[in-house]
Structure 1
């Protein structure tokens, strides 16, 4: 799907670097078909040497002749970057934005008529190629362009397309999700330490247990409740632990955390739209 395509990455920070590294390793894109830009000239040599691609600071020059333009700039800089690129981008180019709180309509309104825009929300595990990316597309994206966008993020993990009305929820669940799970891993590890297990071993036990449990859900496709029941034997220790979790309202607390994060994501979208008018 990406063979023979040319890509520009505008704002090649940590996420941009992870995506380029994943593309170079796991796709048909060649390094000489990728150009990236950075915010400071002092970063050019470091990023170019690390990724093995052409790197500069001229955004306009970078996007010319490219099939795909990946916008990895901060949300507060998106308005300026779109204004800068408006006259050089064409409707044949696919625009992919990974800027949180920036909608497809925000980009479409600031570019030429019928701009093809895909919005993506990856999470931090993408840096080790096990990310989860939620995607949605604007009004003028072809089936081929949709497939190209998906292929980019397949290089760093799993993908799912949703209606844009769900992107705030996706942000709250999968983009913010690693932070919630780090708290769970940390808490389990602390429990191990409390019970006398050395911290390094306790952290390994907690993290690998979460990793294995997640793999079980993904690979068996069984409902998490059914998998939970397979661990819970009558009059065993697991049921006592689960009772403590229920009494502590872990389940409802996690649900409320995601809902609250989604509300904040929506607020940020509204703020982005207001401040850029």
Structure 2
């Protein structure tokens, strides 16, 4: 069983690293291509996989083919490889905004197609990926896709009409979280804390809070109330966030992200 990657950027590297760590495939079973010679050499050195600058070589060899190029390059790449992809090949696309209908229209035929949206925490094995499957994908192949996508974090199967929502709440949201961490750290620095230490405190607080949501199963509002002691410090901070429209700003940002994804 060969797994192929067209595109060897950050997300592909995160996926390859997860696959190898979970021992789903060996390095000998993975082949990847990229137009950048530097990316090809880097992937070969780090992962020990076979690499090439020839997309056709990957398309012909792969039993599972992952299209990991940016959306704007999809028409060019599909036009190049569509004649080389076998009917039985399972194709996984990570491009936002490119629907299964769009992809199959450009291939000119129905495919065993999985469309997904991972996020950058995959780089540290903590990704969150939403995926959907076309009707030709068997239950066994769905499980295979879930295993691949779950090798670098968590993977959840959703209807395709929710994938743009996945972009807003998960695919792009690490940027919002990084801004939140940076803002908290900036104020700690203003109060005299060394910046490196401020980042440690802020990031660990976010990590621990997220873990509490996932592991306790409690509603985020309930967990928030647990921190807010009567007449305490936390409720004063919460009051300021509410007065300045914190929740509405986050909701508006997610909405803007989803609408942009739909229009791509």
TM-score range, shorter chain: over 0.9
What is residue 58 of structure 1 aligned with on the other side?
Answer: 54
Gaps of 5+ in 2: none
Find 1:162's aligned residue among 150, 158, 164.
158
Give 2:144's aligned residue.
148
What CA deviation, in whole Å up to 9, does each residue of 1:79-114 have, x standing for no partner?
A: 121122111112211000112221111121222533
Provide the residue aligned with 2:110 in structure 1.
114
CA contact (8 A) 1:89 1:112 kept: no
Cα distance, 1:167 vs structure 2: 1.0
Note if 1:203 corresponds to 2:214.
no
| TM-score computed with the length of structure 1 as normaliser | 0.91
Deviation of 1:43 after TM superposition, in Å, equals 4.0
Gaps of 5+ in 1: 269-277
Q: Give CA-to-partner distance per residue, 1:116-157, whole Å, 9 cap, x none.
A: 111111111101110111111223211111111111111110
Find 2:94's aligned residue among 85, 95, 98: 98
C-alpha contact 1:86 1:111 (8 A) present in aligned 2 = yes
How many Å apart are 1:45 and its aligned residue?
2.7
SS at match of 1:210: helix
The match for 2:216 is 220
RMSD: 1.3
Aligned residues: 264
5 Å-filtered alignment, 1:1-277, equals 5-111=1-107, 113-268=109-264
Distance 1:117 1:42 in 2: 29
Partner of 1:272: none
In 2, Cα distance between equivalents of 1:43 and 1:169 = 31
